[in-house]
Amino acid sequence: MRISTFGEDCYGELYFADKNAGEIYKLTETDDCKPVAKILAEDTTLVLEPGNSISIEALFHPSLQYEWHKNDEPLPDGNQPELEITEEGIYMVHATHPENGCTNISTPVKVTTVPTSVELKVFGDVKVFPNPSKNMLFIEGLPATGKTSISMVDTKGSVIKTLDISEQNSIRISTRELTSGIYLLKIIRDTEFFQKKIIVSES
């Protein structure tokens, strides 16, 4: 649960304090009266798994109004600080201060999907251990020829770690720098793929 507080200084600038992240954000700028429009996402590119959805949210203040846009077009019912995404595209949020009409636009977030134009076949005999993982994740049974792409995706769809290997049938991946939680391990080689949920626990 996100714990947050709001405040206003003597210049009329609004602030948001995210106690979970230990961050303070300015929500309005006195110089140009524009509210701050910001999408709270781990990355500017998110991966959407087929059949799933991704939730993103704007830096929220109750005195501001929000409007989500996809590919520069306003979304129907996209006037809440949180948005559920089921399609790829370029997403931005517009934040407006109703008292002065000033509007600002966030940095865009790109949502892409796993390519489905080619039918993918599931890898066989791939072993991933230990799971849960504390410090290191071992992967065995990979194809010993060609190039293989490995990535780890968090629950928000953000790609946290990626690497490409060639002619290796096993590899170990450090998980020390990852926050405790659930991740999706994805392995792709040509038209073959493998994915598995991984739990990262504290060391």
Amino acid at 26: K
pLDDT tens per residue, range 37-64:
788 877 788 888 777 888 899 888 888 8
Q: What percent of the chain has pLDDT over 70?
A: 78
Q: Exposed, middle or buried, 145 (CB in 10 Å: 0-12/13-18/19+)?
A: exposed
Query: Quick one: average pLDDT of 76-81?
Result: 90
Maximum mean pLDDT: which of 95-104, 115-124, 145-154, 168-177: 168-177
CB 35 within 8 Å of CB 102: yes
Q: Does domain 4-113 have CATH number 2.60.40.10?
A: yes
Cα angle 63, 66, 68 (rounded to 5 degrees) comes to 170
Element (H, E) at 111: strand 109-113
> Which strands make up the sheet holding 170-174, listed edge to edge?
127-129, 136-140, 170-174
Architecture in CATH of 121-200: Sandwich (2.60)
Instruction: Quote the mean pLDDT of the chain.
Output: 79
Please list the residue range(s) of the chain that carry CATH number 2.60.40.3080. 121-200
Q: Which of 138, 127, 145 is nearest to 189 (CA)?
A: 145
pLDDT top residue among 58 and 19: 58
The answer to whether residues 170 and 177 touch, using CB atoms and an 8 Å cutoff, is: no
DSSP 11-73: TS-EEEEETTTTEEEE-B-TTT-PBP--EE-S-SEEEEPTT--EEEEE---TTSEEEEEETTE
Residues of the chain with CATH 2.60.40.10: 4-113
- Rounded to an integer, the average pLDDT of 129-145 is 90
